[in-house]
Each structure stands twice: as structure tokens, then as C-alpha cells.
Structure 1
Amino acid sequence: MTRTSRKDDRMDRNGASEFSVMRLRRLLSVTALVPALGLGLAACGSKAVNDTFDLTASVSEIATPASARNRQLLVADPSALKALDSEQILVRVSGAEIQYLSQSQWSDRLTRVVQSKLVEAFENTNRLGGVGKPGQGLAIDYQLITDVRAFEISAEGADRGVVEISAKLLNDRNGTVRAQRVFRAEVPSSGTDNAAYVAALDRAFARVTADIVGWTLQSM
């Protein structure tokens, strides 16, 4: 996990929340975003400076069937609900209430970051004939189809990073689904500032990524 700048921001779930300026009033109405009128807002006429965070792709060489070495894998554009698919870092305050971490953002739209890091992780294994994104000219054998179901800081109970991704491995030659599985990881936060929250998310994503990569290579 890397970031380009740093703020000392704190989160207080008991009325002094310093999560972001946007809040979902209803879980099923992702367009009903309204400004939060409490703490954490920049002064009128000023613009807050956001810390920018990235994710890591730490998967290295792993054991895999020899048959995978000549395969080419397309990592398709991940899907996600609108509330997730942005540069904002989501915080789940309760089962039906979410907010966004104040003065913090991802380096790109979340699904783009996830896709790029999955590609990097597969490349780092050195176990495939080729791996890439749509439009990169692969002679595709398989497609990895993913849906980001959760990518959030959970404030219910102990603060923790939660990542859940559904994956399908599609045989591109005949259009059949070779395998499918849901991957999930939860990692406690080591602190109460933005960097600690994002670090927990990064570690959870690293676990999910490692599981997805190993499962995909074994399923080919």
C-alpha cells in the first residue's frame, strides 16, 4: 500500500465521525448522496487536500500445473455497485449505512485499481503465457470475470478492512464457465488513522488476490 501524501485524520463512530462529506441515506438508493453537515467538512470556500492511496500486488511465483504456462488469460473489467466504483474509500458504519473516508481517495476508480493489481499479480507468478486487459491483443484462452462485492472499512465492532470478490473462470474457446468461487478476507486495523484503515484494506486485498491467483492457475 502506498500513498502520495499524509493527513492525521481520525474516525469516531459515536457522533464525531470524520468520514467523508457524502453519505448514503438508503442502501438501495446509491444516487441519494447528500452532504454531511457535521465534522470533517472543509471550511466554506476552501478545498480539502486528499491523501491518495494505492494497493499492492505482492503475489510471487507459486506452484501451478505445467499446462497453465502456455495459456493466455484476459482479466476482464471488474463490475461493482456504483457506491463502490469510484475513487472514494467506503466505510460501512452499519448494515445499511455507509460513508466515505474523509480526505482520502484511491489512485483511480476502484475497479480499475483492482483490475490492474490482479494483472500484476498474475504477471509476478511467471506461470502464464500471457495476461492482460481488454484491448491488449491477447490470443485469449481464458477470461477471469470478477465482481467486487465488498471493499470497505467496517466500523461495526472492531474496525477492519473487508474485501469480497466473486470470480468466474471462463473458457474463451467454448464459452463455458470452468470454475467459480467467492473470495473474502477481513483484516483488523492496527490504528485509528486513515493510513491504518487503508493498510488493513490493502492486506485483505492481498489475501484475496493471492487466493484468486492460485485458484485460477489450478483451475486451468
Structure 2
Amino acid sequence: MIPQTGMGKTMVLPEGCSDRSDVTTRASRVRMLASAMALPMLLALSGCGSAPNDTFDLSAVSTPVSTSASARNRQLLIADPSALKAVDSEQILVRVAGSEVRYLSKSQWSDKLTRVVQSKLVEAFEDTGRLGGVGKPGQGLAIDYQLISDVRAFEIATGGGDRGVVEISVKLLNDRNGSVKAQKVFRAEVPSAGSGSSAYVAALDQAFGQVTGQIVAWTLQQL
């Protein structure tokens, strides 16, 4: 320790410090280091303040495909579905009035809705075993037909009783000449068995299963 005299008083400085400025500098560095160490701890604690959302998936198909039609010599591409921005997200849409929509609190889909719909449509067609091949863009299929879909509604409707509503418009496109072979709109509504997120999603899942089964059967008949 180094004694230093000033203003009639003697101050003892730590070893390595020649004057008061050195002491001040060291104290500042200690405070900066403490702040730097505290920041990550605060960020980590802030992430514990809210519980994660419940995440839900959809079934590939919950109703039997009502046709014996087969198209094992055809390969089908399930194109990326389209949808309005309000529908096409990970949030679960609730229609509280004719034009007023909200999102189900603390709940979400496992992925962007159109990706989930596309994936489940592929699974549903594959599970029939009645096509030569089925897949998504970029998988290298020698395509005969494309299934073009537009998700018009995928929501919990609250007017007139809570229910799951799914409406999907599809076109069957000949990939060789670009002509539309057939097109149709499929819709299903299933009442919710309760008022919680699980009940709402179950109603949507059943409605989607009905629509998917109808789309698969119709497509096989057209091919």
C-alpha cells in the first residue's frame, strides 16, 4: 500500500496505484464488468416470465376415402397452397363477427398453416397407395398433374355456436398442357365440444379431415 497525503489527511492507495485517478479507473472497470455480467442474467430471467404457447398439429385424414378409383400410372404434385395473410400464419384464427377476426390466445400451429395443410394432403394421398407418386415442388417428380389449392377459411367461427370451419378450393391442372381438368370447392363445419383451445383445435382437425378425405376421393376420380 502507498500512503499519499493531501488536504491534511493521509490516504492509503492500493499497490500499483500511483494516484487517485488510478483508483477511480479501477473502480470504473469493476462497475463495467459487473454490469456486463448482470445483463445476460437479466435477459435469461426475462425469458422465464411467460409460458410457451400450446402447439397443435393436424391429422392427415380422419375419414375414409369414399372411392375405389385408382391412378397408379399418374404422378401428382401438391403445389404450395395459397391463402390470405390473416389465415396463413402459425396463429389460430377465430372469427368473432362477419369481418372481425382475432387469434386464439396462447395457441399456435406447428408451422405456417399452408405448410401444414400441404404436408397433410401429401400424407393423405400417399396413404391411399393409389397413385404412382405424390410429392411437393422440388422433389424431382415427373409430374402428370398438379393439385392447386387455396385455403379460403380455416377458423373457429363463434356466431351461432362455436365450430371449426374449413373451406379449400382446388384445381386439378394438367402439367403437360396447362389446362384445368376440373375444379371444386370443399367445405366442412364441425361443432366444438368445448370452449378451450384443445376443443377448438379438435373441431378444426375433424373439419380438415372431412375436407381432405373429399379432396382425395374427388382427385382420384378425376385422374
The alignment yields a C-alpha RMSD, in angstroms, of 1.8
Task: Report the number of matched residues.
Answer: 177
TM-score (ref. length: structure 2): 0.76
Aligned to 1:71: 74
Structure 1 CA distance for aligned equivalents of residues 67 and 86 of structure 2:
37
> Which whole-Å CA distance do the structure 2 matches of 1:62 and 1:159 have between them?
28
1:76/1:188 CA distance change after superposition, 3 Å: same
Q: Determine the C-alpha separation between the residues in 1 that align with 2:154 and 2:108.
A: 13
- Identify if the C-alpha distance between structure 1 residues 64 and 178 changes in structure 2 by more than 3 Å, giving closer, same or farther: farther
Report 1:195-210 matches (<5 A): 195-210=198-213
Question: Which residue among 206, 211, 214 is the counterpart of 2:214?
Answer: 211
- Amino acid in the other structure paired with 1:218: Q
The match for 1:3 is: none
Question: Structure 2: any 5+ residue segments left out of the alignment?
Answer: 1-47
Please report how far the alpha carbon of residue 49 of structure 1 lies from its aligned counterpart in structure 2 after TM superposition.
Answer: 1.6
Partner of 1:82: 85
> 1:15-60: per-residue Cα shift (whole Å, max 9, x none)?
xxxxxxxxxxxxxxxxxxxxxxxxxxxxxx9334200000001366
Aligned to 1:185: 188
Larger Rg: 2
Equivalent residue number for residue 94 of structure 1? 97
Given that 1:151 and 1:163 are in contact with CA atoms closer than 8 Å, whether structure 2 keeps it comes out as yes
Give me the identity figure in percent: 74
Alignment of 1:40-79 (within 5 A): 46-58=49-61, 63-66=67-70, 68-79=71-82
Whether the 8 Å contact between 2:83 and 2:151 is mirrored in structure 1 is yes
Aligned to 2:145: 142
Shift in Å, 1:70: 1.0
- Structure 2 distance, partners of 1:46, 1:145, is 43
Instruction: Return 5+ residue gaps in structure 1 as ranges.
Output: 1-44
Whole-Å separation in 2 of the counterparts to 1:212 and 1:60: 12
Residues 62, 125 of structure 1: 8 Å contact kept:
no
CA contact (8 A) 2:75 2:143 kept: yes
Is 1:132 equivalent to 2:135 in the alignment?
yes
Name 2:11's counterpart in structure 1.
Answer: none
Q: 1:165 aligns with which of 163, 168, 174?
A: 168
Divergent runs of 4+, >3 A: 59-66
* C-alpha distance in structure 2 between counterparts of 1:127 and 1:56, whole Å: 19
Q: For residues 152-196 of structure 1, what are the alpha-carbon distances to aligned partners after superposition, in whole Å with 9 as ceiling and x for unaligned?
A: 000111000000000000011111000000000000000111100
Describe the superposition over 1:128-165 as per-residue Cα deviations: whole angstroms up to 9, x where unpaired.
00000000010000000000000000011100000000
Q: Specify the alignment match of 1:10 in structure 2.
A: none
Higher helix share: 2
